[in-house]
Amino acid sequence: MMNYNEKAAVFGRQSLASTINEFNWVTATDALPKQSGSYVLVLHLDDDKLIQVGKLGGLDCRAGSYYYVGSAMGPGGLASRVGRHFRNTKDKKLRWHIDYLRAQMSLVGCWVMVSEARIECEISELLSHNPNLTVISKVGSSDCSCAGHVYFAPQ
């Protein structure tokens, strides 16, 4: 489990003590809760790469870390949705923006938080205030008015 300072490095420190302490770091599917909630998937790209992201087209991705904010409100909760992101099989249907990125990047792990409320936009807003992260415009946020739900941190 990551400590407060490690979480704060990504989420920022402004009034987040109660929020970030509710996130648990997960690196294996058997540790994923079956309840609904929100999550921040952490991916890594070793080298610069042009990645085709569905209808968005080519995305010029630089080497570094990528943080995707999502929610899992459907059947199976976080175990089902995040578990899908943990699998990186060649035959997995690419459905969401994050699927295209995940297919080309390595998985580091995921912060998960059990919650009945859909709070992915609030989490994305918190990340947007971190000066070390850059939002990737329009990626992962096609169903809301956020600038994006994917953030980048250079190596």
Q: Determine what percent of the chain is predicted with pLDDT higher than 70.
A: 84
Block means of pLDDT (10 residues each) for the chain, length 155 residues?
52 52 88 94 96 90 95 93 86 86 94 90 88 85 79 92
Q: Is 139 exposed, middle or buried (0-12, 13-18, 19+ CB in 10 A)?
A: buried
Evaluate whether 51 touches 59 at the Cβ level (below 8 Å).
yes
Structural domain boundaries in the chain: 4-154
Q: How confident is the model over 36-69, as pLDDT tens digits? A: 999 999 999 999 999 999 888 899 999 999 999 9
pLDDT recorded at residue 55: 87
Other beta carbons within 10 angstroms of residue 91's beta carbon come to 5
pLDDT recorded at residue 15: 43
Residues 6+ apart with CB under 8 A from 79: 29, 32, 33, 34
